[in-house]
Amino acid sequence: MSLETFRERILKGGSLRIRGGGSKDFYGGPLAGEVLEVAGHRGIVSYEPTELVITARAGTPLSELSHVLAERGQWLAFEPPAFGGPATLGGAVASGLSGPGRASHGALRDFVLGVKVMDGEGRELTFGGQVMKNVAGFDVSRLMAGSIGTLGLILEVSLKVLPLPVAQATVRFELPEGPALETLNRWAAQPLPVTATAWEEGLLTVRLAGAEAAVRSACDTLGGERVPEAEATAHWLGLRDQTRAFFAGDAPLWRLAVPSITPPLDLPGATLIEWGGAQRWLRGEQIAAGIRDAARRAGGHATVFRGGDRAAGVFTPLPGPLDVIQRRLKAVFDPRAVFNPGRLLPDL
Amino acid sequence: MTTPDGLLRELRAILSPVSLITDEELLRPYECDGLSAYRRLPLAVALPEDEAQVVAVLKACHRAGVPVVPRGAGTGLSAGSMPHPQGVLLSLTKLNRILAFDPVARLAVVQTGVRNLAITELAAPHGLYYAPDPSSQIACTIGGNVAENSGGVHCLKYGLTLHNVLRLRVVTIEGEILELGSHALDAPGYDLLALLIGSEGLLGIVTEVTVRLTPRPQAARVIMASFDDVRKAGEAVAAVIAAGSIPAGLEMMDQGAVAAVEPFVHAGYDLEAKAILLCESDGTAQEVAEEIARMLAVLEQSGANGVRVSRDEAERLRFWAGRKAAFPSAGRISPDYYCMDGTIPRKGLGEMLTAIAGMEQKYGLRCINVFHAGDGNLHPLILYDANVAGQLERTEAFGAEILSLSVALGGTITGEHGVGFEKLNAMCEQFTTDEIRAFHAVKRAFDPPGLLNPVKAIPSLHRCAEMGRMHVHQGALKFPELERL
């Protein structure tokens, strides 16, 4: 689809539901508005491995990016989830979601270098750029990350890329939840090449990656049972894309983002812990207020990630002054409220 | 609307007598930041001692309609904290307390005026440090780092301020307190934390910062490589990265810069080389040995005609001391120098350095170059003498031409020093009318009356139209809808 067509659709009036591959239709508030397909606006615009930067159109499938990067020994180190669908770059940036490596490599927003968007009045705007360090103008490109498409139609994105690790190993330990959390925090304060962690049902799985020597010596230091490579790859992919058994079924899935040192949360339901303790998944039909309170008391927040009652708002509401500013920013980029109504907040 | 006298009476009621300066002689030290070419005296300097006083000062200025310019240690290099003549300069250095330090959670909560290096000193006994290390880190404050999104020589691997700050407490011009981010790894809603970082004091006043602390690597070694050609050095940088390494630091200095620092620091640099590279690896001892060997092979294949690897920590620090002394050394060999800060895709380095050599002839001024080679951030230091008529003007024109070329090469006018007051004109080259309008609208979302650090960072559309240079950008005249005088 050409930029002119996008502009006509935006200016026509009525609300639009921006859609890339549809892999994250389940995420955020209920879907509303006429579908605006972006998947056709695809293709890599520039990629120079020695600059560590790739620029691509929003509709480019993540699978295409991964393939092109892997050919040059590079990757998207924030491991954007595809949820088993034809996820696109634009959708990844709009959702702002990051995979298992987030606690060590950084989040998607940390890798965004620049964006080109079309605002709610059909204007093309470019923020950031294709270089690592850039402080000219406000950092609007990172504001787009995680805005769930409510601030504009993302057209093109430049991301920092990294070399694939030279060596990798996954080790496993039998540990109850509390000691597992203590162990994770102790390791995180040491210069160990831990790049992902997951705890579920008394098993702590840890991914080590980096230089050969670093991985070898960390394996010796940490001990544990070595997980065969194929099983390890499937394990981390299953976490990234939520294809593991833990995520199956219709029970609501809650995501709690809390400080990593938060002790086990006293909440009913099955738990899966990632990001060194900072991301905790919860399954079950609990009362939303109880979960939100528990997350808030710990210094974090809770999201209805899948299922449950989406109409009541899936994200933790913001305090008054922040909410005011958030609404003003929405009005800056989308004054006629064209994009993704209700997807971030029920009334935004 | 209060009169200036009325405002001063209000400020006297809020602040202790030593925390409000109105006497011209005592205002003088605040007339500029690290970029001394731009100087002005403020109406008054306010030095609040806690957040409540910050709130009260902002509310009073808001009621009076008086501009507020925040300032940390005053080490900025873009006149970002140059005072406003009718405004209050808000110095935040008295907010210098460490509020919490948790080695298990690897974070510290500090007030905005705490020095960058003080955080690392606090964390060091626990094997932790604060990773961003701008060269002013002995003096600069964390609040200033947040305002500028400061980097340092290790940010290719460890990130900028943005990547190492978890949470901010911010006071708006209306006196509202905002908490952005959290001690979890994210927060609901738009990423206002990312928006505030690097916003140069235009959106709110930071009072409190939670920083992430990083485990100190067990070992670090640095390679010093000499090249007989600057382009070869640039290609070597690309080759190191293509070979799959992210060095902990990757810096380049040209012959002029080496000649300036060596007599001063005795770092052992090769004075015959056209360019030298410093290439650091950190991690476990075995990991460092593995990576140094890999990088050495690549550097030698890329035509390095001399390589030395630091043998111990003292030598490693000596190799770095030269790089870190580049700015003061420029001050030693020239009465004045003007530091530029463009970032370019690294492949444009050769073209940029060739062009700068041409500009040295054109403007009759010398320029020495230091370069954060890993991330493309170039610091040409133009040497001049402000006491010689016309030199400052020629220097500014020289700098502007470098920034134009940075944009033309696909880069940016500022990598880490900020736009401040200094680069307002250059902003007009990098952004379109619509983009600059959007920036102003973002500012109004936080600061409706436009009182926080006005006439900084974002140029007025009027200024861009009046620049008179009529830039042709991507084949189209910019600001076509505006009349030109």
Structure tokens at B460: 């007025």
Q: What is the pTM of this model?
A: 0.96
SS3 label, residue A36: strand
A326 within domain boundaries: no
Give A-chain residues touching B172 at CB under 8 angstroms: 321
Structure tokens at A200: 């579920």
Same domain, A26 and A144: yes
A294 within domain boundaries: no
A255 within domain boundaries: no
Q: Say if A288 is an interface residue toward chain B (CB within 8 Å).
A: no
C-alpha closest to that of A153 among A245, A101, A68, A88: A88
SS3 label, residue A154: strand
Give B-chain residues touching A122 at CB under 8 angstroms: none
Give B-chain residues touching A114 at CB under 8 angstroms: none
**Residue A40 neighbours by CB under 8 Å, 6+ apart:** A1, A59
- Identify the pLDDT of residue B476: 46
The angle subtended at Cα B374 by Cα B373 and Cα B375, nearest 5°, is: 95
A110·B415 Cβ contact <8 A: no
Same domain, A84 and A108: yes
Among B192, B287, B413, pick the best mutation site for testing chain A contact (most A Cβ within 10 A).
B287
Structure tokens at B92: 């935040």
Give A-chain residues touching B416 at CB under 8 angstroms: 133, 135
- Identify the pLDDT of residue A289: 84
State the DSSP string of A197-264: EEEETTEEEEEEEESHHHHHHHHHHH--EEEPHHHHHHHHHHHHTT-SGGG-SSS-EEEEE--TTPPP
A252 within domain boundaries: no
Same domain, A192 and A156: no
Instruction: Please name every residue paired with A85 in a beta bridge, in sequence order, or none if there are none.
Output: none
Among A48, A116, A134, A185, pick the best mutation site for testing chain B contact (most B Cβ within 10 A).
A134
Dmax (CA) of chain A: 63
What are the φ and ψ backbone dihedral angles of B440, each rounded to 5 degrees? -65, -40
Whether ipTM exceeds 0.95: yes
A66 within domain boundaries: yes
Nearest CA in chain A to B147: A135
Q: Are B440 and B482 in contact (CB under 8 A)?
A: no
A73·B246 Cβ contact <8 A: no
Nearest CA in chain A to B431: A126
- Identify the pLDDT of residue A7: 98
CA distance A150 to A334: 8
Q: Are strands A225-227 and B88-91 parallel, antiparallel or unpaired?
A: unpaired
Same domain, A141 and A213: no
Q: Are A27 and A91 in contact (CB under 8 A)?
A: no
For chain B, give percent helix, strand, coil, nearest 5: 40, 20, 40
Residue ranges of chain B with per-residue pLDDT less than 70: 1-2, 468-485
- Identify the pLDDT of residue B484: 35
Reading phi first (left if > 0) and then psi (alpha if -120 to 50, else beta), residue B70 is in beta
For A85, A155, A250, B35, B422, the CA distances from B81, given in Å and listed in that order, are 49, 36, 55, 10, 11
CA distance A160 to B330: 33
Give B-chain residues touching A139 at CB under 8 angstroms: 149, 162, 194-195, 197-199
Distance in Å, alpha carbon of A329 to nearest chain B alpha carbon: 6
- Identify the pLDDT of residue B479: 46
SS3 label, residue B361: helix
- Identify the pLDDT of residue A310: 86
A191·B283 Cβ contact <8 A: yes
Structure tokens at B295: 């990088």
End-to-end CA distance of chain A: 27
What are the φ and ψ backbone dihedral angles of A41, each rounded to 5 degrees? -90, 80
Same domain, A17 and A156: yes
- Identify the pLDDT of residue A225: 97
Query: What type of residue is A249?
Result: G
Q: Are A59 and A88 in contact (CB under 8 A)?
A: yes
pLDDT single digits (tens) B301-337: 999 999 999 999 999 999 999 998 898 899 999 999 9
Helices (H), B102-180: 116-123, 142-148, 155-158, 161-164
CA distance B291 to B289: 6
CA distance B347 to A187: 39
Q: Which domain range does residue A226 map to?
A: 167-240
Same domain, A92 and A175: no
B286·A216 Cβ contact <8 A: yes
Structure tokens at B267: 């770092």
Structure tokens at B394: 């020629």
Structure tokens at B100: 């919490």
C-alpha closest to that of B166 among B155, B180, B152: B180
Q: Are A176 and A193 in contact (CB under 8 A)?
A: no
B286·A214 Cβ contact <8 A: yes
Structure tokens at B87: 């405004």
Q: What CATH number is associated with residue A207? A: 3.30.70
SS3 label, residue A310: coil
Same domain, A138 and A9: yes
Per-residue tens of pLDDT for chain A, all 348 residues: 689 999 999 999 899 999 999 999 999 999 999 999 999 999 999 999 999 999 999 999 999 999 999 999 999 999 999 998 899 999 999 999 999 999 999 999 999 999 999 999 999 999 999 999 999 999 999 999 999 999 999 999 999 999 999 999 999 999 999 999 999 999 999 999 999 999 999 999 999 999 999 999 999 999 999 999 999 999 999 999 999 999 999 899 999 999 999 999 989 999 999 999 999 999 987 778 899 999 999 999 999 999 988 888 899 999 999 999 999 999 999 999 999 999 999 999
Residue B387: Cβ within 10 Å count: 9
pLDDT single digits (tens) B67-92: 999 999 999 999 999 999 999 999 99
Looking at residue B463, the DSSP 8-state letter turns out to be H
A298 within domain boundaries: no
A80 Cα distance to chain centroid: 6
Q: Are A251 and A283 in contact (CB under 8 A)?
A: yes
Same domain, A7 and A70: yes
Same domain, A86 and A118: yes
Same domain, A11 and A155: yes
Q: Say if A335 is an interface residue toward chain B (CB within 8 Å).
A: no
pLDDT single digits (tens) B427-450: 999 999 999 999 999 999 999 999
Same domain, A95 and A173: no
For chain A, the domain total comes to 2
A60 within domain boundaries: yes
A319 within domain boundaries: no
- Identify the pLDDT of residue B153: 86
Residue at a domain's end among A240, A264, A285? A240
Give the burial string for B249-284 (b: 16+ CB within 10 Å, else e): bbbbbbbbbbebbbebbebebbeebbbbbbbbbbbb
CA distance B394 to A239: 59
Q: What CATH number is associated with residue A124? A: 3.30.465.10
Same domain, A226 and A135: no
Residue at a domain's end among A240, A273, A305? A240
What are the φ and ψ backbone dihedral angles of A57, each rounded to 5 degrees? -75, 155
What are the φ and ψ backbone dihedral angles of B279, each rounded to 5 degrees? -135, 110
B148·A135 Cβ contact <8 A: yes
For B29, B33, B44, B80, B369, the CA distances from B25, given in Å and listed in that order, are 8, 17, 12, 22, 37
Query: What type of residue is A300?
Result: G
Q: Are B220 and B253 in contact (CB under 8 A)?
A: no
Distance in Å, alpha carbon of B266 to nearest chain A alpha carbon: 30
SS3 label, residue B161: helix
Q: Give me the residue label for tokens 């940010």.
A: B155
CA distance B363 to B115: 38
Residue at a domain's end among A240, A264, A295? A240
